[in-house]
Amino acid sequence: MRGGRMSTPSRFEGYRDGQTRPFFRKRFYQASMLCLPPNRSAHGNTFYVGRGQGDRVFSHAAGQQRASGAEDAEGLKLKTIWKIKNAGFEVEHVIHRHGMDERTAKEVESALIDAYAGLTNVQPGFDNDRGVMHAEEVIRLYEAPEAVFEHRLILINVNKTMDDASDDKALYDSVRYSWKISPEKARKAEYILAVRRGLIIGAFKAEEWLPGTKENFPEFPSDPRRDGERQGRWGFRGKVAPADISSL
C-alpha cells in the first residue's frame, strides 16, 4: 500500500511533463492501450494495444516512435496519433496491467487485442491459436485426432484471412493469397493445408505459384500489407485436394 496526496484536478497531467519516472525505469512489463481523447469520442475509443518496458507507452502516445518492423509497416498507429495531435488533442494511455514478466505481458496484450475491434495493430496477439474461440471450437480442437503427415505439405494459418469456414470459396481464397514464402519451397509441396485455430480445415493442390501482384490476382481487392512482388509475397492457383487427402 502506498500513500499519496489527493489532488483536486479532475485529471492527472503529470505524465505529460516529459519526465521519466524512476519506477518506469524498472524492468517490469506493462500492457497498455492508446485511446482517442474522450472529447473526440463518447468513450475515448481504443485504437492500439501494446506491451513494453520503461516509459515506452508514453513515447508511443507522444508520436516519438518511428515506424519499424512488421507491426508498424503501414504506420497506421502513428498516422492516428499524428492526426489526433494535429487536431490539438492528446492521446490517452490506459495501463491495464503492470509489474508483469514478459510472458504474462504477452498473454494480457493478446487478450486485449482480441477484445477490441478496429485496432491499428497489424500483427495478431501472442500465440494466436489460443485466441478468442466459441466454446464449441475449443471442444473440437481438443477432441480432434492428431494429424499424421505422409506428404510434402505447406501449412498456412488462415486465422486472420478466414471468417467463415463453411464457405468453400472463401476458404480457398483465404489460403491461396498472398504469403511471404520461398517459391522454390512452395513448388515442392504436394498439398497446401489451411489451418485455423490449430485445426486443419481444408486441403488444396497448387497448379501454379505466382508473385502476389495485382496483375496475377486481379480478383482480390488491393491491400498494401499483402500486395506485391516487392514484398516477396506469393499466391497460388489450384483446386481442392482429392477426397482421400482432404479426409486425412
Decide if pLDDT at 155 tops 60.
yes
The pLDDT of residue 88: 78
Arithmetic mean of pLDDT, 25-32: 67
Residues across the chain: 248
Q: Is residue 39 very low, low, confident or very high in pLDDT (cuts 50, 70, 90)?
A: low
- Rounded distance between C-alpha atoms, residue 170 and residue 163, angstroms: 8
Q: Which residue has the higher pLDDT, 217 or 229?
A: 217
Q: Of 131-145, 165-179, 191-205, which range is least confident?
A: 131-145
Please tell me the predicted confidence (pLDDT) of residue 146: 80
Contacts (Cβ under 8 Å, ≥6 apart) of 228: 212, 213
Q: Which residue has the higher pLDDT, 64 or 231?
A: 231
User: pTM for the whole thing?
Assistant: 0.54
Share of the chain above pLDDT 70, in %: 67
Torsion angle of C-alpha atoms 237, 238, 239, 243, degrees rounded to 10 = -150
Residue 5, amino acid: R
Residue 168 identity: D
**Is 70 exceeded by the pLDDT of residue 28?**
no
Cβ neighbourhood burial of 37 (10 Å; 0-12, 13-18, 19+): middle
Mean pLDDT of the chain: 75
CA atoms of 226 and 156, how far apart (whole Å) = 15
**Would you place residue 62 in the very low, low, confident or very high pLDDT band (cuts 50, 70, 90)?**
low
Of 68-72, 100-104, 128-132, highest mean pLDDT:
100-104
Spatial separation of the C-alpha atoms in residues 233 and 25, rounded to whole Å: 40
Q: Which three cell numbers stand for residue 198?
A: 490449430
Output the nine-digit C-alpha cell for 62. Answer: 507522444
User: Which string of DSSP letters, residue by residue, matches 87-112?
Assistant: TT---EEEEEEEEE-HHHHHHHHHHH
